[in-house]
């Protein structure tokens, strides 16, 4: 589109200014603050997870007991126990 003459440019600018003034006149807008709600189940899960993370990886008392039994020669697991542990049973 070709605009010739100053008069046409003034018309375009006038139309533009009308649209801009409409946009600038906005009513008061208030934005609500974000909030988060955590369910009771989620809170319980967080507590349980936190307690689980505090547990040691190895139960030292049980390991020490088995070590004493091995050193004294009294550690004799049954073959069924060994197989069950290997197969992930119990």
56 in Cβ contact with 47 (< 8 Å): no
pLDDT at 58: 87
What's the number of domains the chain is made of?
A: 1
Count CA atoms closer than 13 A to 55's CA, side-chain side: 9
Residue 55 lies in domain: 42-90
Cβ neighbours of residue 3 under 8 Å, at least 6 residues apart?
9, 12
34, part of any domain: no
In a domain, 47, yes or no: yes
Label residue 9 by pLDDT band (50, 70, 90): confident
- Please tell me which residue, 20 or 31, carries the higher pLDDT value: 31
- This model's pTM is above 0.75: no
Q: What is the pLDDT of residue 35?
A: 87
Question: 């609500």: which residue's tokens?
Answer: 32
Where do the H-state alpha helices sit in the chain?
6-24, 40-54, 60-72, 79-87
Residue 20 lies in a domain: no
Q: Which residue has the higher pLDDT, 42 or 28?
A: 42
Q: Look at residue 82 and tell me if it is in a domain.
A: yes
């Amino acid at each position: 589109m070709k605009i010739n003459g100053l008069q046409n440019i003034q018309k375009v600018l006038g139309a533009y200014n009308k649209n801009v003034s409409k946009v600038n006149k906005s009513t008061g807008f208030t934005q609500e603050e974000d909030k988060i709600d955590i369910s009771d189940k989620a809170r319980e899960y967080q507590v349980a997870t936190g307690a689980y993370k505090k547990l040691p990886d190895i139960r030292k008392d049980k390991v020490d007991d088995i070590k004493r039994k091995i050193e004294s020669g009294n550690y004799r697991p049954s073959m069924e126990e060994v197989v069950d542990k290997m197969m992930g049973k119990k």
